Structure 1
Amino acid sequence: MASINSSSGASAAVRPKILSTVFSHVRYEHLLAGISGGVASTLILHPLDLIKIRFAVNDGRVASRPQYHGMSSAMTTIFRTEGVRGLYRGVTPNVWGSGSAWGFYFMFYNTIKTWIQGGNSKVPLGPSLHMLAAAEAGVLTLVMTNPIWVVKTRLCLQYGAEGSHGLKSYTGMMDALKSIYKLEGIRGLYKGFVPGMFGVSHGAIQFMTYEEMKNAYNEHRKLPIDAKLTTTEYLVFAAFSKLVAAGTTYPYQVVRARLQDQHIVYKGSWDCIMQTWRCEGVKGFYKGLYPSLIRVIPANVITFVVYENVSHKLMDRRSGIEAETKSQSD
């Protein structure tokens, strides 16, 4: 009994040390750089995100839902019937969501990765550890941002005068958050969380591909794996990694969007999957893929290029301040 108590006490004592070691690798420069990249790409490309969501949920069973015959048709129809504001419905939670998600993701990912590397950024991790770090960062980020994505989806799916169809019309992000919590509780704010967990694989595949390509390229050039690349090189690696991840994990985004849609109610993720399969077949799981790829690839490129350049400048600034402080103390 004494040995059990002593071992449990020892393990309890170890936990704070582990947490302290992990937190020592937190660099808020990655948070700020990630927010910068997420906000920039969202403001530029939000209309394509809105169209992707509307295509994704369009299963033909809701009469009040607008019908579009392609991307150009959707763009012109929304602009004609709802104006410029219609193309930017849900932009506020999208900016909050994308900015915070990318900021937290990059911060969590780099903290976990640096902890695994033992503080040495020149140590290669390999595909499996890159995926592990990205998956853990994805879960932590999803827990913090899922309510914002629910609000964004619902605002994007307001078609003009929603009240005329007996549905709740939200006046903005805060009104949506309050209304969903009041009417549906915490569960309402975390709709789509389960398929979102499957979506963690999207980020894991993307970051693993991106990091491995950068590492291989720098090793080919006989440079350290954390060496800074040119904007064009970041652009190519970011585009290819997003294409690989989006192509392999898109169906979960359709299921997630449909679960968050206020126009139709599913019993859960499996019910949504079965209804989509029964009514639309395989094609139903890839609705909105084309506008999604047109949006996510340039969005990913903008996000990563902004992130890499901002983070390198901020980290160089930190290194300069630390070096100056050290020289003054000496």
Structure 2
Amino acid sequence: MLKKQASGGDITKPLTATEYLVCSAEASAVTAVITNPFWLIRVRMFATAADSPNAYRGLWHGLSSITKNEGVPGLFRGTMLALVGVGNGAIQFMAYEKMKVWGFERKRRKAEREGKSFDVHMAKLSNLTYSAMSISSKLIALSATYPYQVIRSRVQNNGPGQLQNEFPNIPTTIKRTWAKEGIKGFYRGLGTSLVRVLPGTCVTFVVYENLAWLLRTSAAARPQELEA
């Protein structure tokens, strides 16, 4: 629906990178709002001992407990921070695209020195290069946006009987985290997060780039086959 709106109703019209980025951000924002209650329960289940009287027995128990004790707004604790997280993908995408431009430019200059023709649409970088670019872009994005995840988790875990209102809102959470832990406090768990997301990031980008290259070359070869 978002792509259709961006293309003016013509679903066959190719979108620019910026239009794809905007559509992706909009879709991510909607998803973040809808799924926030589930992330909230997940965070509290992870942070609460199983034998605690405040522990949630499951999804439905968590939903009903939050609604009963905190009201419907309680289900959306940390939503604003979740929307900030949409920028993670935007930063990673822009960094990755810049690295690709640099990589193809190097390949073009090398081809010119060797007297070979170069077509950016048919060219392909190595899988190792794509992996390095995907990791680097993800590191840049996480470095810029990871603190919001720490703040969001602490705000979400601040339910009745959880942290005794230690982190009741975003400003207080930022101040207390800085006062007690300094800058390191905003990057707690970063190493674990990297171990979790980097392998998937590499696989996703390498598979995507190879499939995109295969489709481009197949489309370019089709007219030649028809002429033959």
Structure 1 residues 229 and 141: CA distance shift in structure 2, 3 A: farther
Structure 1 residues 132 and 175: CA distance shift in structure 2, 3 A: same
Corresponding residue number in structure 1 for 2:225: none
Which residue of 246, 255, 265 maps to 2:151? 255
Corresponding residue number in structure 1 for 2:113: none
Corresponding residue number in structure 1 for 2:14: 119
Which residue of 155, 166, 173 maps to 1:272? 173
| 1:77-126 alpha-carbon deviations (Å, 9 max, x no partner) | xxxxxxxxxxxxxxxxxxxxxxxxxxxxxxxxxxxxxxxxx516xx665x
| 1:253-301 alpha-carbon deviations (Å, 9 max, x no partner) | 1101101114223331111111212222222212222222233322422
1:19 aligns with 2:5: yes
Mapping of 1:105-254 within 5 angstroms? 119=14, 132=22, 134-163=24-53, 167=54, 169-218=55-104, 220-221=107-108, 222-224=118-120, 231-254=127-150
Structure 1 residues 152 and 24: CA distance shift in structure 2, 3 A: farther
- Cα pair 1:201 1:249 within 8 Å, conserved: yes
Q: Secondary structure at the match of 2:71?
A: helix
1:23 and 1:151 mapped to 2: Cα distance?
A: 39
Structure 1 residues 183 and 305: CA distance shift in structure 2, 3 A: farther
1:296 and 1:245 mapped to 2: Cα distance?
A: 12
| 1:43-96 alpha-carbon deviations (Å, 9 max, x no partner) | xxxxxxxxxxxxxxxxxxxxxxxxxxxxxxxxxxxxxxxxxxxxxxxxxxxxxx
Structure 2 residue runs of 5 or longer lacking an equivalent are 109-117, 223-228
Sequence identity (%):
37
1:201 and 1:212 mapped to 2: Cα distance?
A: 16
2:97 and 2:199 mapped to 1: Cα distance?
A: 18
2:27 and 2:76 mapped to 1: Cα distance?
A: 18
- Cα pair 1:207 1:241 within 8 Å, conserved: yes
| Alpha-carbon shift at residue 242 of structure 1 (Å) | 0.6
Residue identity opposite 2:130 in structure 1 = Y
Structure 1 residue runs of 5 or longer lacking an equivalent are 1-17, 27-117, 324-330
Structure 1 residues 161 and 181: CA distance shift in structure 2, 3 A: same
- Cα pair 2:103 2:125 within 8 Å, conserved: no
Structure 1 residues 257 and 225: CA distance shift in structure 2, 3 A: farther
Which residue of 283, 287, 304 maps to 2:188? 287
**Residue-pair matches, total:** 200
Residue identity opposite 1:272 in structure 2 = T
Residue identity opposite 2:47 in structure 1 = L
Structure 1 residues 171 and 228: CA distance shift in structure 2, 3 A: farther
Structure 1 residues 213 and 184: CA distance shift in structure 2, 3 A: same
Q: Secondary structure at the match of 1:267?
A: coil
- Cα pair 1:277 1:284 within 8 Å, conserved: yes
Per the normalisation by structure 1, the TM-score is 0.50
Structure 1 residues 217 and 178: CA distance shift in structure 2, 3 A: farther
Residue identity opposite 1:173 in structure 2 = L
1:201 and 1:19 mapped to 2: Cα distance?
A: 22
Structure 1 residues 312 and 23: CA distance shift in structure 2, 3 A: farther
Structure 1 residues 136 and 224: CA distance shift in structure 2, 3 A: farther
Residue identity opposite 1:119 in structure 2 = P
Residue identity opposite 1:162 in structure 2 = S
